[in-house]
Structure 1
Amino acid sequence: MKSIFQQALGEKFNQLHPEIQKKFGISSQDKIMILGQGRMTEIRGTPLLLRPFLHIGSKDHLIFAERGKNIPFTLENYAYADEQGREVISYIRRFFFPYAIRGLDAAMYYDEEKQMIVDELGKSASLSSVLDVDVTKEGGILIHSHEMNVKNSYKINGPLTSLYEHYDEQEQAFRIHVHVEHPILGTILMYEGLVHIEFLPMTYSYIPERGIL
């Protein structure tokens, strides 16, 4: 079984750095999970007066209002096949601020009809977007979101996300840069940092609730 990123990239997948291939190449057949730990050098974005409104999305792990530097971070990836037989990988991110722990959760699957990855956002999967995936000259992975939808029913003029990730040979870790931008409000959230990962055995009892998250 190919991972969703192998399906989306095709032959281009082989152009990724070997460590990026390992990280983005896991599938349900591997029966493993990824645990990542690191720090975000900086988390910024959203004008100060608008940040209180972001608390609305924090309960669903869609967005959060806290900002800062040198923030501890964890990532969990679970790859499995859902009830429809689709290959799925969940992303569970936690940011450990001094007075709060905030989350960004998502689940991705490959849409055969669109021939693209669909990203379902938040614990409730209330929002979704379609992802373009590409490979950089350095063997990193580049992901852009577009077509933000509410429950796959109608499109909204929502924020779009760009993710760039590459492997740092010297640190033997992954450098991540994420930028969430609204067409009118500008940068909603930007974070970047260094993450070390390990691969661990997984059983389906470890997959968080909601099946996907």
Structure 2
Amino acid sequence: MTPVYRAALGSDFEKLHPNVQWRYGVDSTSGVAQMTSGMVESVFCTSKLTPPVLRFFRKRNVMPTTTSRLVPFFMDNYCYRDERGRECLAVIRRFAYSNGEQRLHSLLVNGSTGLIDYFGDGPDLLIPLTPRVGPGGSLILESEPMRMLSRGLRMGMRGLFATSMRYVEEWDDEAQRFRLDATVRNVTLGEIMHFRGWFTAADRPCSIHEIPDEAWPLRLEERE
């Protein structure tokens, strides 16, 4: 199978920094998982979201909901093919706040319409992504407006509620580690969430039977 970002970028994948290519050069046949650890220097969640929405997002591992700084951060990547035969990259992000861990679970899929990111355990959000190569061989992801998938929370995301995401991952030659910068913005509320920081990464052997349960969404989502 072809790794999700290589399939989405085509020949431009070779323009990524070699270390970013290494990060995303594995697929469901590689037999490895990638474990990272680092520090989120700044994580922000807007106070404009209502408490029920924040509780829902936190419970479903859609996004961190606590603003803080210097939060230990872990990100684990697992590759597999889902029941529809789609190549998938599951990303489990963990924010180790002093008062308890919060998570952001997402599943990148090579869909029939392009690269799709499903957020949350449901999954609860569908995010169509357009990847490109940025300065220094960085990976830049920019999204079209998100779509709500949840069967519980009902919230329209068009017009004034349109929400999009931008993610940048790059290699820092001076510090010899990766950097990331993620931002979610809403047309009406402005910046909803961001987190920025650094991490190091290492591969480890991982069979399909060793992939943790949380890497699989609660249901197979066919909407793209």
Q: TM-score, length-normalised on structure 2?
A: 0.87
Question: How far off its partner does 1:37 sit?
Answer: 0.1
Counterpart residue number, 1:33:
33
Length, aligned pairs only? 210
Give, in whole Å, the separation in 1 of the partners of 2:70 and 2:196.
Answer: 10
Question: How far off its partner does 1:95 sit?
Answer: 0.3
Q: For the Cα contact (< 8 Å) 2:157–2:163, is it kept in 1?
A: no
Question: How far off its partner does 1:152 sit?
Answer: 9.6
Counterpart residue number, 1:169:
173
Give, in whole Å, the separation in 2 of the partners of 1:40 and 1:136.
Answer: 22
Give, in whole Å, the separation in 2 of the partners of 1:211 and 1:170.
Answer: 33
Name the CA shift for 1:111/1:152 in 2 (closer, same or farther; >3 Å): farther
Question: How far off its partner does 1:182 sit?
Answer: 1.0
Question: How far off its partner does 1:129 sit?
Answer: 1.3
Counterparts of 1:1-213 in structure 2 under 5 Å? Answer: 1-47=1-47, 50=49, 52=51, 53-112=53-112, 114=113, 116-151=114-149, 156-157=157-158, 158-209=162-213, 212-213=216-217
SS of 2:135 mapped into structure 1: coil
Give, in whole Å, the separation in 1 of the partners of 2:67 and 2:188.
Answer: 21
| Per-residue CA distance 1:22-78 (angstroms, 9 max, x = gap) | 11121011110010100001112413x646341221010012321111100000000
Question: Which structure 1 residue ranges, 5 or more long, are not aligned?
Answer: none
Q: For the Cα contact (< 8 Å) 1:148–1:155, is it kept in 2?
A: no
SS of 1:101 mapped into structure 2: strand
Q: TM-score, length-normalised on structure 1?
A: 0.92
Question: How far off its partner does 1:170 sit?
Answer: 2.2
Question: Which structure 2 residue ranges, 5 or more long, are not aligned?
Answer: 218-224
- Deviating above 4 A after TM superposition, structure 1's stretches of 4 or more consecutive aligned residues are 152-155
Name the CA shift for 1:16/1:152 in 2 (closer, same or farther; >3 Å): farther
Partner AA of 2:213 in structure 1? E
Q: Give the percent of matched residue pairs that are identical in Structure 1 and Structure 2.
A: 25
Give, in whole Å, the separation in 1 of the partners of 2:215 and 2:57.
Answer: 21
| Per-residue CA distance 1:131-168 (angstroms, 9 max, x = gap) | 00000131000001114223399972342110011001
Q: For the Cα contact (< 8 Å) 2:184–2:193, is it kept in 1?
A: yes
SS of 1:8 mapped into structure 2: helix
Q: For the Cα contact (< 8 Å) 1:37–1:197, is it kept in 2?
A: yes
Partner AA of 1:63 in structure 2? M
Question: How far off its partner does 1:111 sit?
Answer: 1.5
Name the CA shift for 1:210/1:35 in 2 (closer, same or farther; >3 Å): closer
Q: For the Cα contact (< 8 Å) 1:176–1:193, is it kept in 2?
A: yes
Give, in whole Å, the separation in 2 of the partners of 1:65 and 1:209.
Answer: 23
